[in-house]
Amino acid sequence: MEFKKNHIAVAGFFCFTFFLIITIFCPLLAPFDPNMQQIGDLLIPPSWYPNGGISHLFGTDALGRDLLSRIIYGCRMTFGISILLVIVAMLLGVGLGALAGMSKGFRSSFINHTLDSIQAIPTLLIAIIIIAILGPGLVNSMWAIALSLIPQFVHQTRDFIRRELSKEYIMAAKLDGASKRHIFIHSILPNMGEMLVVQATLALSVSILDISALGFLKLGAQAPSSELGAMLLEGIEVAYIAPWTIAVPGGALFVMIISINLVGDGLRSALRNRLLH
């Protein structure tokens, strides 16, 4: 398999699997309740500091909450919600993309031009506009991000379908009297798997960034939520005396996004090499 030849992408895949395991088994891995405040353990440094301890490996925050537990739950919230949003956006986007790609005339032209205009706007800006209408909060931010991701899947699906419609096996299906619905479900959709996987990895990194950015801007998850962006906002207040309160969630967010991008790049390269051969 071409993907296995890319060692950096394989390393990213292992990191991706690690975050997936954290998302699934979060309650079993966290040593403390993420919102439990311990007044006697305020701003304890991480274990690698000279004055740190092993009872709190990543230290504690300004309220005495264990950062390791909050990071584990934060990865579950940020990563898990992002996967859910990507799945929802992909299902809706593929449906609308199929409608745009299989149809002709005014309906197809209207959908294509509208989506092209929306896609020119950054997803975070679209999410902020939607939240300005719906109001701040985690649920509203989830709706906003899902809606902002849909045009990407619609665009990729539409372009893929239009390329496939000109190929010989589609022509043969049309000559056999197959309907548009039958052609899409039985001929085009089975070949879309690789394209959708690559697009989903790209959308996943965008979703994680948007959720964290909205949490950081107080438009998404609100305190005392353990979402990574909200944790970064809380850590800024004590960053000068306790830099680990922003370094730890920031590092987790960095590794998460890098691993997803490495997997996405590896999948794109593997798909490109496969088509060349």
> Confidence class of residue 174 from pLDDT cuts 50, 70 and 90?
confident
Q: Is the pLDDT of residue 203 over 80?
A: yes
| Per-residue model confidence as pLDDT tens digits over 39-66 | 888 888 898 888 877 888 898 898 889 9
Q: How many CB atoms lie within 10 A of CB 38?
A: 15
Who contacts 19 (Cβ-Cβ below 8 Å, separation ≥6)?
75, 79, 256, 259
Q: Of 89, 15, 41, which Cα lies nearest the Cα of 253?
A: 15
Who contacts 277 (Cβ-Cβ below 8 Å, separation ≥6)?
none
Does the domain spanning 2-276 belong to CATH 3.40.50.1860?
A: no
Most confident of 108-112, 179-183, 269-273: 179-183
What integer is the mean pLDDT of 255-273?
85
pLDDT of residue 154: 86
What integer is the mean pLDDT of 223-246?
88
Q: Is the pLDDT of residue 270 over 80?
A: no
pLDDT of residue 276: 58
pLDDT of residue 89: 92
| Per-residue model confidence as pLDDT tens digits over 64-104 | 899 999 999 999 999 999 999 999 999 998 888 888 777 77
What integer is the mean pLDDT of 254-273?
86
Q: How many Å apart are CA 96 and CA 151, to the nearest integer? A: 9
Q: Is the pLDDT of residue 277 over 60?
A: no
Q: Specify the pTM.
A: 0.88
What would the two tokens of residue 180 be?
């548009």
What integer is the mean pLDDT of 146-155?
86
What integer is the mean pLDDT of 202-222?
89
> Confidence class of residue 254 from pLDDT cuts 50, 70 and 90?
very high
Q: How many CB atoms lie within 10 A of CB 92?
A: 16
Q: Of 216, 110, 96, which Cα lies nearest the Cα of 157?
A: 96
> Confidence class of residue 4 from pLDDT cuts 50, 70 and 90?
confident
Q: Is the pLDDT of residue 267 over 90?
A: no
Q: How many Å apart are CA 67 and CA 32, to the nearest integer? A: 9
> Confidence class of residue 179 from pLDDT cuts 50, 70 and 90?
confident
What integer is the mean pLDDT of 181-208?
85
